[in-house]
Structure 1
Amino acid sequence: MNPTSPTPRQFLATAPAGTRVVVRYRIDSGFTDALGDLLGCGESECTIRTRRSDVDIPLDLVVAAKQVPPAPPRRGSRRA
């Protein structure tokens, strides 16, 4: 890791609310990702608004986090 790069925890703590992020974190069976908008980050957890729901992630379980580009526009219906 580059010494000037922030840790995932530092990135989440300093990123403004509304930033689109992907966060990789540990679960019982391995790892999973949350992709969505950062709602906020406290001392012990961050909240990501995914397409399905808001996800509260304990910062102790986060192994990676970064900003991602905006979601592409949804495609229209195939029925025309």
Structure 2
Amino acid sequence: MHMRGRLVHRIVPDDVGQRVSVRIRLPEGGFTDIVGVVESWADHVLTLRRRDGSSVEVAESDIAASRVVPPVPPRRRGGRPPETP
């Protein structure tokens, strides 16, 4: 999200359905990051679905930086593969 010290906002409304990382400005002046899938983007507000299933609304004007990130890889089930004799 940084490009030579600058924050870069790279996501657009066409990224609905994509997993993104968004850095938002906090009222106190700091920042926080949210990673989730963009569920909707309307009236300058994004709705992101987090991995835990919760959703959060983010005003476009609060976004300091953003980018599309790869999907979460599926978790392996079971553990190690069986050993061959």
With the length of structure 1 as denominator, give the TM-score of the two structures: 0.71
1:28 matched to 2:24? The reply is no
Unaligned runs of 5+ in 2: 80-85
The answer to whether the 8 Å contact 1:12/1:65 transfers is no
CA contact (8 A) 1:23 1:64 kept: yes
Residue in 2 that maps onto 1:54: 55
SS of 1:28's equivalent in the other structure is: coil
Q: Match for 1:74: what amino acid? A: R
Distance across 2 between alignment mates of 1:59 and 1:46? 7
**Structure 1 Cα separation of the partners of residues 78 and 50 of structure 2:** 22
Please give the per-residue CA displacement for 1:15-68, whole angstroms capped at 9, x wherever unaligned.
2x2111111101134111111111011132101100231010011100111111
What percentage of aligned pairs have identical amino acids?
35
Report the Cα distance in structure 2 between the residues aligned to 1:33 and 1:77, rounded to whole angstroms. 32
The answer for unaligned runs of 5 or more in structure 1 is 2-6
Larger Rg: 2
Q: Paired residue for 2:65?
A: 64
- Structure 2 Cα separation of the partners of residues 68 and 46 of structure 1: 16
SS at match of 2:61: helix
Runs of 4+ in 1 over 6 A off after TM superposition: none
C-alpha displacement of 1:12: 2.7
Q: By how many angstroms is 1:72 displaced? A: 2.1
